[in-house]
Amino acid sequence: MIVLFGRCGCMNEACRLFVDMKEKDLVSWTAMISSYEQGGTYEDALVMFFEMNRRGIDVDEVEYISVSSACAYTLVLETGACIHGLVFKTGTSSYVNIHNALIHMYSTCADIQMLRNSLIRVPTRILFLRTR
């Protein structure tokens, strides 16, 4: 339901559902973060992500992609670099989609040095998949 409300642009209703949930799991957090990001309320997606992280909820590939995109659209490079660090810290740096999101973020924020560093760190097999 959260995703449905989010896709319809009814974030107040999505928030109400989320707040009223007795137990919030990875799926409900992901639904809120991606709904905010896809709806263009990038700051809210970032706030939700950091709250999720603060509460100790494990983060997966989907959240990293959503918040990297949110950082790109808000041009919040410091937060994006923090997200990038979390990607490596949590061991999710081998996912192709995360690399694509980070590359998008650094190129949008015009940080050519970090973009270059990100490309250097991409495993060869992922680079091959991207250029095929």
What is the structure's pLDDT at 124?
Answer: 54
The mean pLDDT value for 41-60 works out to: 92
What is the structure's pLDDT at 120?
Answer: 59
> What is the pTM for the complete model shown?
0.80
63-66: long-range contacts at Cβ-Cβ below 8 A with a sequence spacing of 24 or more? 63/29, 63/30, 63/33, 64/92, 64/98, 64/101, 65/97, 65/98, 65/101, 66/30, 66/33, 66/34, 66/37, 66/38
The mean pLDDT value for 106-126 works out to: 67
What is the structure's pLDDT at 105?
Answer: 84
115 in Cβ contact with 106 (< 8 Å) = yes
Could you report the per-residue pLDDT of 71-93, keeping only the tens digit for each?
888 888 888 888 888 888 887 76
Q: Residue type at 116? A: R
28 in Cβ contact with 21 (< 8 Å) = yes
**Cα–Cα dist 102/75, whole Å:** 13
Could you report the per-residue pLDDT of 26-37, keeping only the tens digit for each?
999 999 999 999
